[in-house]
Every structure is written in C-alpha cells, then in structure tokens.
C-alpha cells in the first residue's frame, strides 16, 4: 500500500492493512494520527508537552496492539483513540492531583505582540491555563467540541455519556471559561 | 477597571481563542514519531507466509531471492525500519518546518576551503606533549 499522508484511505482500512503486515500503513497512520493524539493530550494536561508525548506514545501503542482484533464498522479509529487518550489523561491528572498552572508560560506584560502568531500563542496559552481550571469532564467536552471539532454524538461515545449531557458540559464549560478569562480580556487583545 | 464590571468574553471572542489553540497545536517531534513507529514495528503481525520459491532461474524464486539478498545487504528489516523512520522524519520536517529545511538547503558549502597540507602533522601539534614531559 502506498504511503497515504493525505487521507484518501480511511483510518480503518489502514489499520486493517497494518494488522495484515503492511508496513506503509503504519507510517501513514503514525503521521496522520500522532499529531491529533498529541494535541488533545497536551490540551488535556494543561500544556505539559512531555506528559502529552508519553500519553500519545502509549495511545498509539495500544492502537497497534488492538489492530489484529479490530472489529470493522463498530467504531471510528479516531473515536477509539480519543477515548484511550482521554482515559490516560484522567489517570495522569488523578495521579498528579492537579495541573501545575504555574508551569504554563504566561503571556509577557508590556509591549504588544508584534505578529499574529504571537497573539495566537498568547491566546492559546491563556485558554489552556483556563481549561486546566475546569472540572475534567467539562475540559474534555469543551476541548473535543471546540478545538478538536468533533460532533456531539461522537463526543458522547468517547465519554460514554448522552448527547444531552455533552451539550450541558460544553455549555457550562464555555460559561466558566468566559468568566475565568474576563479579567484578561485586554491582554488577549479584546476591548 | 472594577472587577465587578469586567465583562465576560462572548461566544465570538471565545471562538477566537479556540481557533488560536487549533492554529498553535503542538507538532510531534521526529523523536516521538520514531518511537511510535518503533512500537508499530515491534507489535506488527508478520506478513502472510510467502509461497515456497521455485528453483527455476529467472522465475519467482529468483526475484524473491534477489529481494531477500537486497534486504540482507542493507541489514534486514530492522535496518529498513530505521531507513523508514529517517525518511519519515525528513518528510515531517519538510512538511512541518519548511523554513528549517530551506535553511539547510542554502547553507554555504564553499566558504571554508581546506588544503591537503592542513591535514599533515606539524611540529606544533606535538609541542604541548614535549612541554608536558
């Protein structure tokens, strides 16, 4: 199977090919899924890059183990992976009790950011710090809905709750974020 | 500004923050990709057993033998996995950090010119040893 970086072949087809011994499929799945897994883990763990890399590696390892027993048509590969990452992150958060918010670099005071990239980085850091203050379930729901861009039914499947519960979690999470970030509106570039 | 009067962020302002988080999403390092691939290699079930090679020269057996020979020449599957990892890291760097790759591509290669005499041993090389003895 040719290396498929653009996504013409479904994740599931690639996983089945991997399970049948196709090495190119492993390359394609690695490049396609690792960034998504890492990004989600990083946001769930308050921006802790090292922890997020460990989670990403462990989640992908579990995917490789699952491949020979993968039951086609039952769940999307990404849904399954998000669930694994979610559980791994919860385990780590429980172990550490709380995310060290002080470890997240604060936006610099004083001079205004000079590029859009810097503004985006400042905003992303502020958001991750605020997300880290939310209850874990709200953090998961808001991240999956508004950053990962998943639909509510898929989030419900990942979290093992109803669609209505997802809607409630995201609404409460967003309200909490809006309140938590209000004092920082000027440094975020809002009037 | 009085804290009681601080206005909460509205939906469009929050959306800009979510967008910023997406735009600055962390990229996996080549090292992480290599570790993930190593896991895939270690856990991958073997490919289906190939048919027994035919003895006739020029037939399927000969091409399988040639492939096996090539594989052995580069160091077996482990070496192929290493090559694949290195290739992937290169593809990833070019994809995620094209400016970095461009920097390598234009690195000057002729600014420092060495002569054969630069590599010949000189008495100066041994002076510290002589002084230390």
Is A92 domain-assigned? yes
Are A90 and A27 within one domain?
A: yes
Alpha helix positions (H), A45-148: 49-66, 77-96, 116-131, 136-142
Are A135 and A52 within one domain?
A: no
Are A49 and A89 within one domain?
A: yes
How many Cα atoms within 13 Å fall on the side-chain side of residue A136? Answer: 15
Are A81 and A151 within one domain?
A: no
Closest-CA residue to A184 (of B25, B8, B20, B4): B8
Is A184 domain-assigned? yes
A125-155: pLDDT as tens digits: 999 999 999 999 999 999 999 999 999 999 9
A51-109: pLDDT as tens digits: 999 999 999 999 999 999 999 888 899 999 999 999 999 999 988 765 555 555 554 44
Number of domains in chain A: 2
Minimum CA–CA partner of B14 in chain A: A178
* DSSP letter assigned to residue A103: G
Are A141 and A78 within one domain?
A: no
Q: Which residue has the higher pLDDT, A175 or B105?
A: A175
Which of the listed residues A99, A126, A153 is the one where a domain comes to its end? A99
Is A59 domain-assigned? yes
| B10 close to A (CB below 8 A) | yes
Q: Is A2 helix (H, G, I), strand (E, B) or coil?
A: coil
Whole-number average pLDDT of chain A = 89
B88-121: pLDDT as tens digits: 556 555 555 555 455 444 444 445 555 555 555 5
Are A74 and A109 within one domain?
A: no
Is A2 domain-assigned? no
Contacting B residues, span 15-74, partner chain A, CB-CB under 8 Å = 15-29, 32-33, 35-37, 39-41, 43-48
Are A138 and A67 within one domain?
A: no
Q: Do A147 and B91 touch (CB under 8 A)?
A: no
Exposure class string for A121-157: b at 16+ Cβ within 10 A, else e: bbbbbbbbbbbbebeebbbbbbbbbbbbebebebbbb
Q: Do B13 and A120 touch (CB under 8 A)?
A: no
CATH number of the domain within which A146 lies = 1.10.10.10
Are A89 and A23 within one domain?
A: yes
CATH number of the domain within which A14 lies = 1.10.1740.10
Nearest by CB to residue B27, choosing from A5, A18, A35, is: A35
Is A154 domain-assigned? yes
The total of other beta-carbon atoms located within 10 Å of residue B68's CB is 13
Are A93 and A139 within one domain?
A: no
Are A68 and A145 within one domain?
A: no
pLDDT band at B62 (very low <50, low <70, confident <90, very high): very low
In angstroms, the Cα distances linking A60 to A5, A70, B42, B83 are: 17, 14, 12, 20
Which of the listed residues A99, A132, A159 is the one where a domain comes to its end? A99
| Substitution target from B2, B4, B24, B50 for chain A, most A beta carbons within 10 A | B24
Block residue for tokens 């002589």? B130
Q: Is B29 helix (H, G, I), strand (E, B) or coil?
A: coil
Tell me what the mean pLDDT of segment B54-64 comes to.
43
Are A114 and A91 within one domain?
A: no
Domain with A147, as residue range(s), is: 105-191
Which of the listed residues A99, A122, A145 is the one where a domain comes to its end? A99
State the pLDDT at residue A99: 52
Is A43 domain-assigned? yes
Q: For residues A67 and A29, is the Cβ–Cβ distance under 8 A?
A: no
Is A1 domain-assigned? no
| B89 close to A (CB below 8 A) | no
Are A154 and A119 within one domain?
A: yes
């Amino acid at each position: 199977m040719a290396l498929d970086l653009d996504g013409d072949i479904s994740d599931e087809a690639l996983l089945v090919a991997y399970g049948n011994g196709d090495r190119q499929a492993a390359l394609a799945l690695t490049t396609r899924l690792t960034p998504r897994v890492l990004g989600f883990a990083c946001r769930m763990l308050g921006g802790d890059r090292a922890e997020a890399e460990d989670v990403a590696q462990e989640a992908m390892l579990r995917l490789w183990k699952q491949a020979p027993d993968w039951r086609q048509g039952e769940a999307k590969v990404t849904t399954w992976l998000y669930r694994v990452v979610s559980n791994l992150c919860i385990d780590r958060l429980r172990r550490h009790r709380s995310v060290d918010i002080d470890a997240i670099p604060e936006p610099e005071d004083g001079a205004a950011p000079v590029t859009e990239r810097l503004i985006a980085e400042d905003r992303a850091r502020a958001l991750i710090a605020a997300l880290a203050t939310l209850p874990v379930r709200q953090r998961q729901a808001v991240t999956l809905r508004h950053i990962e861009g998943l639909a509510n039914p898929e989030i419900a499947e990942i979290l093992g709750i109803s669609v209505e519960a997802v809607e409630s979690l995201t609404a409460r999470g967003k309200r909490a974020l809006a309140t938590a970030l209000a004092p920082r509106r000027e440094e975020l570039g809002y009037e | 500004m009085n804290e009681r009067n601080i206005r909460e962020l509205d939906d469009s302002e929050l959306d800009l923050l979510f967008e910023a988080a997406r735009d600055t999403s962390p990229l996996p390092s080549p090292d992480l990709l290599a570790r993930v691939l190593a896991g895939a290699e270690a856990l991958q079930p073997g490919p289906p057993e190939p048919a027994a090679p035919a003895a006739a020269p020029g037939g399927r057996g000969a091409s399988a033998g040639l492939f096996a020979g090539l594989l052995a020449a580069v160091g077996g599957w482990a070496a192929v996995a290493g090559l694949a990892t290195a290739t992937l890291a290169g593809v990833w760097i070019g994809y995620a950090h094209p400016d970095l790759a461009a920097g390598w591509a234009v690195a000057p290669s002729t600014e420092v010119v060495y002569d054969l005499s630069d590599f010949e041993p000189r008495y100066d090389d041994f002076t510290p040893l002589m002084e230390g003895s």
